[in-house]
Amino acid sequence: QVQLVESGGGLVQPGGSLRLSCAASGSIFRINAMGWYRQAPGKWRELVAGITVSGSANYADSVKGRFTISRDSAKNTVYLQMTSLKPEDTAVYYCNAETFTKMGVREDYWGQGTQVTVSS
């Protein structure tokens, strides 16, 4: 089993910044891609940003130029730097990790979520 623990959410004013962190621990053999998703009330969960093991990143169009995803593979940690935050960024943000067991079985894990609220 792998556990993902997120931190860094909170209340911020429009135009402000926050940095989310997600640390993976447990029975980790190999972590492939990691990513951040978000879910606002009444909406589907959507991909915000993802990053491969080689560091290649992709972003939702709505956050391009404002959010930056990065990872520290030695620490099994992924980060999401969010700047120029808008009220529409308000959501619960979830960390996701795509892992593989020694037998090559893919297992996806989710964090518990961290609330980000952008409001004046």
Output the pLDDT for position 44. 96
Give every CB contact of residue 77 below 8 A, 6+ residues apart in sequence: 21, 22, 23, 24, 71
Output the pLDDT for position 47. 98
**DSSP per-residue codes, 60-105:** -TTTTTTEEEEEEGGGTEEEEEE-S--GGG-EEEEEEEEEE-TT--
Phi first, then psi: what are they for 52, rounded to 5°? -85, 175
- The letter for the amino acid at 54 is S
Output the pLDDT for position 29. 86
Place of tokens 């940095």: 19
Tokens for 60? 């939702």
Write out pLDDT tens, residues 111-120: 999 999 999 9
Read off the DSSP letter of residue 18. Answer: E
Output the pLDDT for position 1. 86
Q: For residue 28, is pLDDT > 90? A: no
Using pLDDT thresholds of 50, 70 and 90, give the confidence band for residue 49.
very high
User: Across residues 81-95, what is the average pLDDT?
Assistant: 98
